[in-house]
Amino acid sequence: SDSSPPPMPWFGMDIGGTLTKLVYFEPKDLSEAEEASEVESVKSIRKYLKSSSAYGETGHRDIHLQMDNLIIGKRKGTLHFIRFPTSEMNPFLALAKSKGLATMASTICATGGGAYKFEEDFKREVNLSLHKFDELDSLIRGIEYIEDNNVDKECYYFVNSRDQDNCQKCTYDFSNPYPYLIVNIGSGVSILSVYGPNNYKRVSGTSLGGGTFLGLCCLLTSCQTFEEAIELAAKGNNHEVDKLVKDIYGGDYDRFGLGGDVVASSFGHMNSKEKRSKVSKEDLACATLTTITNNIGSIARMVAANEKIEKVVFVGNFLRVNQISMRMLSHAMDYWSNGQLKAIFLEHEGYFGAVGCLLELLK
């Protein structure tokens, strides 16, 4: 647009069912005059955000995702990526207030269900009106913007996804994207078909998502965090928990091309008291991760076949620090489609909704 950009600070926020994602644009091209005339509180917010990568008890800045020399709203600067649990919204608002956010007449663009749920709290605690945007519009805008602007290559895929020693992460050229499927694995899962710019629909979804994995894993293993759940899963073996084709057939089910190592029944061994007594936390975590991941993979495949789309882009924070699931999805897409489908992943996995929101602010 040709109107002047909104006053700083520039934020975009995605308040999800589990995590709140915040992106912050730090201008690096301020003239001396601009710097001098800058409001004190804007300066102090910038200093605070940059001073550390941990905020309060549970806030984190993902420094490895930071993007430098980005042009947004005709300004050059750095984009920062910050997250905290949505359950910590009240302490977050208190922190924001203590840093002077309430004294700025700024606008925050927000998306995700929390933009509705916490609207009153933002107004009351920090005197901010949220400008609300749709989360799926924001997600796609964010993906397309970051993919176009990340000089360090945003998209990748795996080769030899099943082979621990030879598995490789490779850059994927997404310059010609349409049509593609987005599988957004957050607390729940949404699947979108994107046919062209501003042309998409939400085709499917499932409530068995990242929240289900973490919830079940906490129940079954008494783990406390997502990171811990993933670490347990990495050390476990789902074959102690799941019933495989070979447990039923004694080998492969050749007639329909099912290998003996394919899971026939997720958690199918756990009806046996003896097997239950031998199973470890690690095995249970691994089986939970496998069950949830393969179910999502299988829904994604059916949708892709229905839509006649070959590129499947997986995003959402379920994939954070979770190469296990990415590799399982890569293998599942490849194997069950005879190489027709391609699983694609993005470096900024869970932040696209927040980025899309920031772009709305500057439109």
CA–CA separation, 138 and 66 (whole Å):
19
**Region 205-264 residues binding ligand ADP, contact defined as CB under 6 A:** 210-211, 213-214, 226
Of 294, 317, 325, 330, the residue at the interface with ligand ADP (CB under 6 A) is: 317
Closest CA to 358 of 211, 138, 156: 138
Residue of the chain from 8, 10, 11, 19 that contacts ligand ADP (CB under 6 A): 19
Report the C-alpha gap between 287 and 241 in whole angstroms. Answer: 6
Q: What Cα–Cα distance (Å) separates residue 222 from each residue in 170, 226, 265?
A: 36, 11, 24
Hey, which residues between 74 and 93 contact ligand ADP (CB under 6 A)? 85
Is 320 among the residues that bind ligand ADP (CB under 6 A)?
yes
At closest approach, how far in Å is the CB of 18 from ligand ADP? 4
| Smallest distance, ligand ADP to C-beta of residue 350, A | 4
What the block records as the tokens of 144 is: 């397309």
Q: Which two tokens stand for residue 175?
A: 């310059």
Q: How far is residue 183's CA from residue 191's CA, in Å, rounded to a whole number? A: 5
Find the length of the chain: 363
363 closest CA partner among 197, 138, 30: 138
Written as six digits, the tokens of 327 are 């590799």
Residues in region 99-138 near ligand ADP by CB under 6 A: 112
Active-site annotation holds for 135: yes
Tell me the closest approach of the beta carbon of residue 29 to ligand ADP, in angstroms. 31
Which entry of 26, 40, 120, 135 is annotated as an active-site residue?
135
Closest by alpha carbon to 13, among 103, 76, 101? 101
Stretch that binds ligand ADP, among 11-19, 88-96, 100-108, 146-154 (CB under 6 A): 11-19
Query: Cβ closer to ligand ADP: 85 or 260?
Result: 85
Report the interface residues with ligand ADP, using CB under 6 A: 16-19, 85, 112, 186-187, 210-211, 213-214, 226, 316-318, 320, 350
Q: Active-site residues: which are they? A: 135
